[in-house]
Amino acid sequence: MTPSALLTRRIPSSVLASLESACAVELYDGPTPIPSDVLKSRLQGKQALISVLTDRITAEVLESATDLKIVANIAVGYDNIDLAAAKARGIIVTNTPDVLTEAVAEFTWALILSAARRLGEAERYVRRGAWKEWKLDFMLGTELRGKQLGIVGRGRIGSAVAAKAPAFGMNVMFATRRAGTGRHERQPDEVSLDELLVSSDVLSIHTPLTPETRHLIDKRALARMKRSAILINTSRGPIVDEAALAWALKERLIAAAALDVFEREPEVLPELFAFENVVLAPHLGSATRETRTAMADLAVANVIAVLGGRPPLTSL
C-alpha cells in the first residue's frame, strides 16, 4: 500500500513533486494555523506529517494519529511539538537545522543595523513627506565599531551571527551555558547572563524556547541592560516578555529593540507600535527563496527516508 502524508502548507512545486513520487500527498490549504480537530481528522491513515512552527502538534493530536511514523517540522525550532508524547508513541520528529543558519544570521545583522541607525524610523519619515532639509544633528544613530555584541544562545545561528561581528568592529561575548548542557568550563568569551546584560551594547537572542527560557528577558533583565543598549530577537517570541519590553522602552531603560518573532504570532502587543525605536518584522529570519526551499526539501527528504525504512537525515 502506498504510504500517505499530510502537508499543512504549500511548498515549492519541485519539492512537492519529490514528495509525491514517494507517497500520496494531502495538502491542507485552509485557515492557519490548522485547527486541532481538523488536524486530527486529516491525520487519520497518514504515515507522515509535514508541519510548520505554527502548527500545534500536541499529545492529543499524536494519540489520535495511530498510523503516524514521522512529524517533519519545516523549522529549526520544535517547541510546537510534544516531543515526549511523540517518543512515547515511537513517532520520529525531525527539524531543518543548518540550512537556515546563514539566512537568519544575515537577517539578524539587518535588524541590528536597522535599530542602530534608525532605518525604520527614517524610512517612515521620508515616506510621509516630512523630510525638508539636511541637518548635522538630525536622527543620529549609534556606531557599532568598538561595541560589545552579547549573544544568548551559542548554537549554529548564534555562532554564525558572532562570526560576522568583526566586519563591524564589534567584540562578542556569550552567555554561559547552564549546567547539564555538556559544557563544564567557562570559555574566555563567556560570562554569566547577568554580566552579559550589564555589559552588552547589543543583545541578540538565539536560544531555543524551553520552560527555562520563556520570559528569560523580563523586567529584571531589561532593567539590568545599558540605557544605550539594543535588544534583538530572531529566536522565539516568548523568550522576551513583550509587556516588560514595552515598559522598558517607555521608561527609556534601553535605546531600541528589533523583533522578528512575537509571543502570540501573528499578534503583536499593540503598545509596541507606538515606539519609533522598535523595528518589527513578520518572522522573516529564514525568508529567502533559497533557504525556504532548502528547508522544505530537507523535511521532505526526512519523510521519504523514514517511509522507505531508512533513518532520517535530522532527528530530535
Known active-site residue 214: no
- Which one from 118, 154, 206, 236 is the annotated catalytic residue? 236
* 2-5 LR contacts (CB < 8 Å, sep 24+): 3/47, 3/48, 3/307, 4/45, 4/46, 4/47, 4/48, 5/46, 5/47, 5/48, 5/49, 5/50, 5/303, 5/307
- Which one from 190, 265, 271, 276 is the annotated catalytic residue? 265
- Using alpha carbons, select from 172, 178, 171, 236 the residue that is nearest to residue 208: 236
Known active-site residue 186: no
The span from the CA of 74 to the CA of 139, in Å, is 40
Known active-site residue 215: no
Indicate if the alpha-carbon torsion angle 138, 143, 147, 149 is positive or negative. positive
CB atoms within 10 A of CB 22: 18
Contact 174, 154 (CB under 8 A): yes
Catalytic residues: 236, 265, 283
